[in-house]
Chains A and B, each alone.
Chain A
Amino acid sequence: ETGVTQSPTHLIKTRGQQVTLRCSSQSGHNTVSWYQQALGQGPQFIFQYYREEENGRGNFPPRFSGLQFPNYSSELNVNALELDDSALYLCASSTALEGAETQYFGPGTRLLVL
């Protein structure tokens, strides 16, 4: 059974640029959630995708957007990067009907915005 994988592992961007982060969900999981974890903080929910549609969103501006593909992998896109976007971005996959306790997290992508 393949776990949740994320790419890239690390990324450096400059303010104003755009970034795309990728997540491959665990085999058999059809739901992907994205979280932002600032240094020294707990993860903050960005949004969730279920069957290629957004299914819930946290308190993040529209420049944070996402996609889910037919194979249930997902992308997180962030436009017009700001310094405060520097964080660890985590994705978690789950099977929707079983609830949040089955969320399996990937290792994250660490983004640094200069």
Chain B
Amino acid sequence: GQQLNQSPQSMFIQEGEDVSMNCTSSSIFNTWLWYKQDPGEGPVLLIALYKAGELTSNGRLTAQFGITRKDSFLNISASIPSDVGIYFCAGRTYFGNEKLTFGTGTRLTIIP
């Protein structure tokens, strides 16, 4: 099945650093979502984006819906240990269609 391309695949950073990751698709999406998944848990929604060009923040997290509707970006500022995990983007084609297409994931590790 289709999966969105996320980069980087993994990141090793020090506590306090900023993080940037992105997600690209060959198809247009009308909604972009960012999730975080911890070991042994299901994905937890971080940010939802509904309009092309939209920039939305949730605490230290900021995400943008690309103008082309084929990409999205997530930034995490001043990383802390609990930011460790796998981050997934997900796209939805139209409102009312619950099917989410997920990205391949970005694994974030914080080096002590």
| A window 53-106: CB within 8 A of B | 55-56, 58-59, 90, 92, 94, 96, 99-101, 103-106
Chain A residues in 8 Å Cβ range of B101 = 45
Residue of B nearest to A40 (CB): B105
* Cβ 8 A contact of A101, one of B4, B33, B97, B103: B33
Tell me the bound Cα distance from A108 to B40 in angstroms. 8
Query: Contact: B98 with A31, CB < 8 Å?
Result: yes
Question: Within residues 38 to 66 of chain B, which ones have a CB less than 8 A from any CB in chain A?
Answer: 40-45, 48
The answer to whether A42 touches B98, judged by C-beta atoms less than 8 angstroms apart, is: no
| Residues on B with beta carbons closer than 8 Å to the beta carbon of A92 | 42
Establish whether residues A100 and B42, one from each chain, have CB atoms under 8 Å apart when the complex forms. no
Number of residue pairs A-B, CB distance < 8 angstroms = 76
**Nearest residue in A to B102 (C-beta to C-beta)?**
A42
Cβ B3 vs Cβ A56 within 8 A = no
**Contact in complex: A59, B98 (CB < 8 Å):** no
Contact indicator B31/A105 (Cβ below 8 Å): no
Inside 8 A of A2's CB, which chain B residues have their CB?
none
Contacts of B45 in A (CB 8 A): 101, 103-104
Contact string against A for B residues 70-112, beta-carbon threshold 8 Å, 1 for contact and 0 otherwise: 0000000000000000001010100111111111110000000
Residues of A within 8 Å of B48, CB to CB, are 101
Residue of B3, B41, B97, B98 near A103 (CB, 8 A) is B98
Question: Does A94 lie within 8 Å of B98, measured CB to CB?
Answer: yes
Asked if A4 lies at the interface with its beta carbon under 8 angstroms from chain B, I say yes
Given A100-B33, A105-B42, A106-B42, A41-B95 contact (CB < 8 Å): no
Q: Give B residues with C-beta under 8 Å from A.
A: 1, 3-4, 6, 31, 33, 40-45, 48, 88, 90, 92, 95-105
10 closest A-B pairs by beta carbon, nearest first, are A105-B42, A42-B102, A101-B48, A44-B1, A59-B1, A45-B99, A43-B102, A100-B92, A105-B43, A100-B98
- Measured CB to CB, the residues of A under 8 A from B are 4, 31, 33, 35, 40-45, 48, 55-56, 58-59, 90, 92, 94, 96, 99-101, 103-108
